[in-house]
Amino acid sequence: MKTISVLLKENNYEIYLGRGILNKFNSFCEKKSLPKRKFFVIDENVFRLHKRYLLNFLSSEGNDIVYKFPSGEKSKSFKQISELHKVMLENKLGRDTLVVAIGGGVTGDAAGFAASIFMRGVPVVHIPTTLLAAVDSSVGGKTGINFNNTKNVIGSFYQPKFVLIDTIFFSSLPEKEITCGLGEIIKYAYLTGQNFYDEVFLSFNYFYQKDFSKTEKLIANSISVKAEVVSSDEKETGLRKILNFGHTFAHAFESELHFKIKHGEAVIAGIICALYLSHEKGFISALRLEELLSLPKKITLSSSLKKLNKEKLYNSMLSDKKNRDGKIKFVLIKEIGEILLDVETEKGEVFRSFEKMFQSI
C-alpha cells in the first residue's frame, strides 16, 4: 500500500492507495477518531458492479445507512443534495455522522458538498472508484454541484478526513473512463519531469489492460503532484493554476459540445491545443513540439471535436469564469516541468492551435 500525505494549514490528511485495501477502512477511521455512525453514499453502478465486495464490507459495518446514488452529471444538483439531506434526517443522522462517498467524481463532489453543509459540516471520507476521481477530484477538497447550466458553480472547499483508493474497483471501468483518468495523468507528466513523462508513455497500454500493479506507481505519482500543488495553494490563488494546463481549451470543447464529450477526452484535446499554442508563441521548437505531442496523440479523440466552430470556442473561453476581465489567460509550456501561467495571446494564434488540433485527430 502507498500512502500520500496532503499537508494543509489545518486538517492534514492521508491518501491510501492499494489493491484490496477497503478492509483497512475501519482501522483508518479509528486512527482519526472518526464518528462511528456512517452514511455511505455509493454510486449505483459501483454498487451493482461490486455488490458482493461491497456487501461483504458493509455487513461488517453495523447499522450504517447506505444510499445508492444515481449516477451521472445530473446528480450534481440542489435536488439531489436535498435528497441526501432528507435521507440523513429521516435516519436521524446528526453531527456525529461520517459521510463516506464511494464512486466517481460526481458522487464525491456531491456527497462532499452535502457533508460540508449538513449541520454546518460533518466529516467526509472519499473512496474514489474511477481513475479520474482517484488522481484528481478526490484530492484537493473542491466539492460542488452544477447550477443554472453552469458547472461546479455552487460549492465549497472541504477537505476529507482521508481518501482510500482500492484499485479493485478500477477493474470494471470502461475504456472511456480509463481515458479520462489518463488525460489527467498525462497532464501531471507535463507538469513534472521527463522521467515521469517517459514512464507514462511506456506504461500507456497497461492502463487499458487494467494492469494496475504496473501503473500503481504512476497513479501515486500523479496524486503526489496534485497533493503538493494543493498543499502550497489550497484555495487556488496562484500555483494551483498550473493544474489548468489544457483545461482552458477543454472547458470550451465541453461547453460547445453540450457536455457530450467526456471531460478527460476534452482535456487531452486541450493539452494538444496548449502544446500547439506554446509553439505558436515561440516557447517550444517544432522538433520538440512533435516529441511532446507523441503522448496525447496515442489517444483516439472524438471526431465531433473537428466540427466545432473556432469563433464560438473562442467566445466560450472568454466567458469562462476564470477569464472575466475580457482576456483569456492560458497555462502554456516551455519544457516538461517548466510551466508558464497567465499567458495572453492573439486570437489568430489560438485559432491556428484549434486548426492544428482538428487536423491531427
Residues that bind ligand NAD (CB under 6 A): 43, 45-46, 49, 71, 73, 76, 103-107, 109, 129-130, 132-133, 136-137, 140, 142, 151-152, 169-170, 172-173, 177, 180, 263
For the question of residue 146 being annotated catalytic, the response is: no
For the question of residue 236 being annotated catalytic, the response is: yes
Indicate if 184 belongs to the active site: yes
120 labelled catalytic = yes
Decide whether 137 or 353 has the Cβ nearer to ligand NAD.
137
- Whether 52 is catalytic: no
> Grid coordinates representing 218?
504512476
- Out of 120, 258, 260, 324, the active site residue is 120
CA distance 126 to 98: 11
Least separation in angstroms between CB 229 and ligand NAD: 12
Nearer to ligand NAD among residue 43 and residue 234 (C-beta): 43
Q: Which of 38, 76, 126, 251 is catalytic?
A: 251
**Closest CB to ligand NAD among 76 and 279?**
76
Q: Is 142 a catalytic residue?
A: yes
What is the rounded CA–CA span in Å between residue 270 and residue 291? 17
3-state secondary structure of 5: strand
Q: Is 251 an active-site residue? A: yes
What would the grid cell of residue 151 be?
A: 458547472
Alpha helix (H) ranges present in the chain?
25-31, 44-49, 51-59, 78-90, 105-117, 131-132, 175-192, 194-208, 212-232, 247-256, 263-280, 286-293, 310-318, 347-360
Nearer to ligand NAD, 63 or 149 (CB): 149
Distance CA 43, CA 38 (A): 16
Instruction: Measure the CA angle with vertex 251, ends 242 and 138; round to 5°.
Output: 60
| Active-site amino acid positions | 120, 142, 184, 226, 236, 240, 244, 247, 251, 263
